[in-house]
Amino acid sequence: MTWPRSTLRTRLTIWYGVVLGAVLAVFIAVTSVVLYWQLRNQMDKHAVQDLETVEGLLSVTPEGTIRFDEGYHNHPESRLVQERFLEVLAPDGTILFRNDRLGDRTIAGALLAGEGEGGYSNRIGYLSDGTRVMLVSRRHAIDVHPTVIRLAYAVEPVQSEVRQWMVAGAVALPLVLLLAGIAGHALAGRALRPIEEMTKRADAITAERLHERLPIGHHGDELAHLARVFNRLLERLEESFVKLQRFTSDASHELRTPLAAIRSVGEVGLQNDIGREGYRDVIGSMLEEVNRLTSLVESLLAMTRADSGSVRLNRTVFPIGDVVREATSLMEVLAEEKGQRLVVTGERSAPVSADRVFLRQAVVNVLHNALKYSPSGGTIHVRIRGTDARVCVDVIDSGPGIPEEHVPHLFDRFYRVDESRSRDMGGAGLGLSIAKWAVEAHGGEISLESRPGEGTTFQIGLPSVSLSPS
């Protein structure tokens, strides 16, 4: 048999009832013990006071017997209240007097050694018929006759009071738990209502409704904090989803362009008899588009790996000048084609801790961007600056500069300042995005300063380290 799954509200109510029941049970038990001891203490005090009264009411008759004046009471009703058992004994244990309530019974048997000497002796004892009593005794001289006075009270009334209290508590406990359970169930429902609202709202949020948020409420409690945390999570999901949609759309658009070019060139070549040289030109054009497509796919793969966090940096310590030299060597052919010059200055020995491959790719991408937008015959300056904390590489081109409205978006994926020029130059708008990721993966930062009509300066900053001697 399987039990149905209970709701959180029901479980909270049950736990509340169990804890409350345990607390009340402990409370009844503790108060019963306290009540018993308080009644016992009151009985002890009353017995001592009553014994002092009894001492004054005892006397010796002319016949030599003990007489007790029970008709004397400060208050007439006290005779009805004081249900005492009284016994007077000689020092050798001979019974000299027993009141009518005690009758033929005896109190606690034979005298104990030292009983009643030096004050009052209190203890629990039994009558000869087994009745449990609270006993107080004291040695007292009645008309110069030494005696031991024993005064006893039945314990049953005290126990009866305690039992009545426990029974009353046991009877009231289920009713209290029932009322508390109803109130607890209602309070739990009220406390969990914000969670139910958040659950309904979260269940309604889909990929098309990521802009919606959970209700926070008006109180700064834990539920409001939970709602804010989930809302921040939804914000990150929405941002990632928007980026993914934009990335997919831009990637599809970028891939469609070279594929369409390959297809159109191929169809034209098949429709016309262009001869051997013509076909060579067609194949060359197709290969050019394939190279562009391959470069785009490799860039997309690099960005995908970066986003997934699967890229592992193989850090080594080396002078930053080594990477700059390798990057400029790769770009020299492109610079010569446009009649441009690459000039490297600064502290080439400044050390960095980085992955040589990824850092070189970042510098190459920035240099490639500078070469593309610098005019023929222009000069690209690469300046290396080093301090105790940072190593900076500045790439300064002599291009037309970047309009101010485009600067904040320059490192976005597939972003181009001039769509037509960038496509003619073969760019896909991913180079600077990859450079930004590579620099930030090393704990650095990349920024730019542009002056329209004068050129642009890209600044790559990396943490500095100590270069170990070889």
Element at 201 (helix H, strand E): helix 156-204
CA 153 – CA 134 distance, rounded (Å): 5
Mean pLDDT for the chain overall: 81
CA 112 – CA 92 distance, rounded (Å): 11
pLDDT at 470: 45
Contact 429, 413 (CB under 8 A): yes
CA 245 – CA 253 distance, rounded (Å): 12
Q: Is the dihedral of CA 282, 285, 291, 295 positive or negative?
A: negative
Question: For 331-384, what is each residue's pLDDT tens digit?
Answer: 888 888 889 999 999 888 888 998 888 888 889 889 988 888 888 888 899 999
Mean pLDDT of 448-455: 83
Is 79 a residue whose pLDDT tops 50?
Answer: no
Contact 303, 311 (CB under 8 A): no
pLDDT band at 80 (very low <50, low <70, confident <90, very high): very low
The domains found in the chain, sorted by start residue, are 8-160 (3.30.450), 222-306 (1.10.287.130), 313-463 (3.30.565.10)
pLDDT at 198: 81
Element at 96 (helix H, strand E): strand 95-98
CA-CA distances (angstroms) from residue 185 to 18, 51, 346? 13, 57, 75
Is 33 a residue whose pLDDT tops 70?
Answer: yes
Residue 393: which of 440, 466, 344, 434 has the closest Cα?
A: 344
Is 1 a residue whose pLDDT tops 50?
Answer: no
